Structure 1
């Protein structure tokens, strides 16, 4: 079993709102796997967020973010369970920063569950074609089992880039958007969920000079 450190316990507590001992026990039970530990805590009803999970997340905020003098625009809907939380400054800041994330990193979906099956099949076909082309150029063909493993690895990497919840935050805290949402949920005691977003970029689909939009958004954030 891996060592359960104080930082691991704190991270789990921040995401669930459960007690320190409950977090430590859950991490020990799952050999330090934080995601599995969250499931353990929720099943035992120890999470402050889980206790309110039955409530409908029908409140929240629709927020518009415009970057670069109108070059990029984002509309995002983030839900909570009460209008009290919808007016909370931490919640509003999370919505604003998540909209900036969408502007900078251009995710395609909120989560893996939102990816259509035909999109997954299309991506696999692209990756398979790349491997076939590589085999032609090198004259070395990989075993079928190895090809499937590589394709699955490429797909997993693409999903992390394409899904907003799996992206690393541009805020520089080395946390994913999912982790930031979980921590906010634990802090305010209500489930926070990103429902949908739309991103528009000036001249999208038209060939134009490329720029580092992610760096621009991050710089704008620092200056605000």
Structure 2
């Protein structure tokens, strides 16, 4: 009986506000974690990520082209963001996501949506630069290759939109805020392309 009282409506409401999940899911996870809110959030995120990954295989052909103007008309962004239905595309949540990502693009100036879009010659050039930087360092080649891999991962985070830390909450990247909305809206969401304009460039 004590456990049942501890998992009351207020606790469920708290978990819902933290995760955006439904009442029944929150109640079940809280029961599973004996009413421990911190553990429940962690478990919900693990389960949520798995559900988001399943949805990622579904086609997203609807959506919208979102335009955003920043800095007194000096920076502009056009973003194509896709979902599965026109109904979701018209929701305020989906449009707020498009706005947040467009604002992020304006501020952070990514070059590509994801790492798979980088031209192979650009990656080869970056690796060559890193190798040149390590010539004078007395380390085994295997160690140098690990350093190069680490530098390349950092480069991806700098230039790939999905991997950049979100400007409003750097503890999350753009990919994770999209996953959160996939769970909230129940549809696959995909970023297809964007263009960023800046006056004088």
Please confirm whether the aligned pair reaches a TM-score higher than 0.5, indicating the same fold: yes
Instruction: Find out whether 1:112 has 2:112 as its counterpart.
Output: no
* TM-score, normalising length: structure 1: 0.67
In the alignment, which residue of structure 1 is the partner of 2:198? 201
Structure 1 or 2: larger strand share? 2
2:130 counterpart (127, 130, 133): 127
Unaligned runs of at least 5 residues, structure 2: 1-14, 34-41
Q: Does 1:156 align with 2:153?
A: yes
Structure 1: state its 5+ residue gaps: 1-9, 26-31, 205-224
Q: Contact 2:110/2:161 (CA < 8 Å) preserved in 1?
A: yes
Q: Could you say which residue in structure 2 is the equivalent of 1:218?
A: none
Distance 1:38 1:157, change over 3 A: farther
Note the aligned Cα RMSD (angstroms).
3.2
The TM-score normalised by the length of structure 2 is 0.74
Task: Report how many aligned residue pairs link the two structures.
Answer: 175
Give the 3-state SS of the residue equivalent to 2:171 in structure 1.
coil
Find 2:106's aligned residue among 96, 103, 106: 103
Residues 32-71 of structure 1: CA deviation (Å, up to 9, x unaligned): 9999x569x74xxxx2773x55642111010111111221
Is the aligned partner of 1:93 residue 2:96?
yes
Question: Residue 65 in 1 paired to residue 48 in 2?
Answer: no
Deviations 1:138-190 (A, max 9, x none): xx532211211111110011111111111111112621111100000100100
Give the Cα separation in 2 of the matches to 1:169 and 1:111: 15
For residue 174 of structure 1, give the secondary structure of its aligned residue in structure 2: strand
